[in-house]
Chain A
């Protein structure tokens, strides 16, 4: 029973097939109340399908989803707010009318709703546009309204599918700040993203998902630690066909934890990479290859993904 209270959403081995294609494959997750839970994976990894099953839009082919201890068909719809990836708005309504309509649909009392709408418009910098028709808003404003419509009824769980998609840097900052404020209010936020930065900065825990399967689930720090320390060196050769020869040459050298080819670029993780650079360059030259680019950085969630799948996060 404690388990039920701790986890606000639980998926038990859920799978979903579309005409023989398995979009989600045996996904089992437990999302804690009050956390920002990130789904990280490339486009087409099955994130949106998983989320649609978790909010009751899609029936799993197999498995079970439990929300606040209730089966899918019994939970209160007002406990979830969904911000879809696409802009889902009524073009001929104003911002205020759109929010009031959704509030009415969730049966929010009129007086409460009015205050909430005003507050949301202020929080998301849309007060000036309260009476502007949606069709006349900029892309960023529409994105913010898209989010506001997901939270106007103050749900316990806020699901955001790729919320930064198509946002300008300024709007993205507003969004990130708002997501963190939701967590501060004790809301549970489920976030899908293919942006490492977003998952890293916002999520308390991150589930890495690809081809419909859960690859890893932990905090961003633990995930980065798990693949070990060291820096990442990326080398681009003038002739990519020599990549494998260079990888063979360097593989197994002292303090080189991993080396593999990702999208035609050699990706090398090594301890004290800076000190090792002359030796690495020497090894490359010995193979007869010529470098056209070399860069060095700290490891990120993307490197975790690369370590897990052997490929980069595709767009």
Chain B
């Protein structure tokens, strides 16, 4: 039972190196807090986008009433008051700025989007109203009318590579189209003296969240991915730790004994698995503390810990493979990062990747963490139970065993044989 002696030795070293242990356990706390803030956690269900409005619009006089109206201001007010569906959270945090200020704010990403209202905006809205009145009162005349068609162009400006801009520009386009429709409808109603009448709707849409996720925040959806990212990242720590054994020469001392590759790696796996248990518990605890919503109650959390630990053991195996190739702790850190960060993207921890298949199977299905993530989402986001995750857990365990076996073979070949 040489692996047991090595497991005890590793455990003692882990526990007695207080500083090292502190960093290992603090990492998941820090990690989850940072991502919690970054993805708008902290209990808020929807996040207002930051909109800067540059209003160049000149007011116009309404001929019928003689009233001076600035439709740019009117649009600004509508945007300020717009709210998410079935929510009291505003769609935008609006600031009114000059064009140069908007430019600066965009570059520093202090705003997500800028809307520039041209000086002829009110003029074009008035033209639209006139045209609508004419159409409503005498359609034949309207078709051949000489009423000027004044078109104004609202500019939605932003960084097209910025996700928040993508979302907020979509919302803005929708609101602007609705604004135009509302003007037309309202004018028609006034002309026909049928105040409040709305055109008959044949097509309707309704926002409906997945069952049970009504109160979920973006953080709730991304948290399983973040947990998987933190778990994969453990491979770097494990690789560094095993490489320290190489660097200090203690592995050479062990190499001279009757110890086999399996003994040192399985011996190392045991205490590091305990570390994984703590890390997964801490990750979930911190996530919950900062407002993580999940489905399925305590049962889901317990199963999530099990799933996370299996993923963590796969990371330990990956760390062992990394340590078979590097010469020092620095290299272990670099190679570890080089592998774990892309691996996190590949398994879809941050966002889904395009489907690329190998022999008819999605390429990331060969990575155990893909199944860890599937299982965590099934449990925490969609409230599934053991039946829903059994397949993912099974595949994850199978791939982890393969990864560990590869680790044993490579470590033995590269570290425990006489140097060529």
* Separation of A45 and B258 alpha carbons in the complex (Å): 30
**In contact, B254 and A59 (Cβ under 8 angstroms):** no
**Cβ distance A20 to chain B, nearest Cβ, rounded Å:** 16
**In contact, B419 and A57 (Cβ under 8 angstroms):** yes
**Cβ distance B314 to chain A, nearest Cβ, rounded Å:** 27
A-facing residues in B250-283 (Cβ within 8 Å) = 250, 252-259
Number of B interface residues, CB 8 Å?
22
What are the residues of chain A within 8 A of B2 when measuring CB–CB? Answer: 104-105, 107
**In contact, B258 and A88 (Cβ under 8 angstroms):** no
What are the residues of chain A within 8 A of B418 when measuring CB–CB? Answer: 56-59, 72
Identity of the chain B residue whose Cβ is nearest the Cβ of A94 in the assembled complex: B12
Which listed residue, A57, A90, A105, touches B258 by the CB 8 Å rule? Answer: A105
Which listed residue, B250, B257, B420, touches A77 by the CB 8 Å rule? Answer: B257
Number of A interface residues, CB 8 Å?
29
**In contact, B256 and A89 (Cβ under 8 angstroms):** no
A88-B249, A101-B5 in contact; A57/B255 too (CB < 8 A)? yes
Interface string of A92-111 (1 = CB under 8 A from B): 11000100111011110000
**In contact, B258 and A59 (Cβ under 8 angstroms):** no
- Identify which of A78-86, A195-203, A236-244, A257-265 touches chain B: A78-86
Answer whether residue B357 sits at the interface, using C-beta atoms and an 8 A cutoff. no
What are the residues of chain B within 8 A of A82 when measuring CB–CB? Answer: 253, 256
B-facing residues in A92-135 (Cβ within 8 Å) = 92-93, 97, 100-102, 104-107, 133
**In contact, B420 and A90 (Cβ under 8 angstroms):** no
Answer whether residue A232 sits at the interface, using C-beta atoms and an 8 A cutoff. no
**Cβ distance B327 to chain A, nearest Cβ, rounded Å:** 15
What are the residues of chain B within 8 A of A189 when measuring CB–CB? Answer: none
Q: A104-B2, A105-B254, A105-B257 are in contact. List 7 more A-B contacts (CB 8 A).
A: A56-B256, A57-B418, A77-B256, A82-B253, A84-B249, A88-B248, A92-B16
**In contact, B250 and A88 (Cβ under 8 angstroms):** yes
Interface string of B270-298 (1 = CB under 8 A from A): 00000000000000000000000000000
Identity of the chain B residue whose Cβ is nearest the Cβ of A16 in the assembled complex: B419
A88-B253, A89-B250 in contact; A104/B16 too (CB < 8 A)? no
Answer whether residue B211 sits at the interface, using C-beta atoms and an 8 A cutoff. no
What are the residues of chain A within 8 A of B5 when measuring CB–CB? Answer: 100-101, 104-105
* Separation of A130 and B12 alpha carbons in the complex (Å): 16
**In contact, B9 and A93 (Cβ under 8 angstroms):** yes
**In contact, A101 and B256 (Cβ under 8 angstroms):** no
What are the residues of chain B within 8 A of A80 when measuring CB–CB? Answer: 256
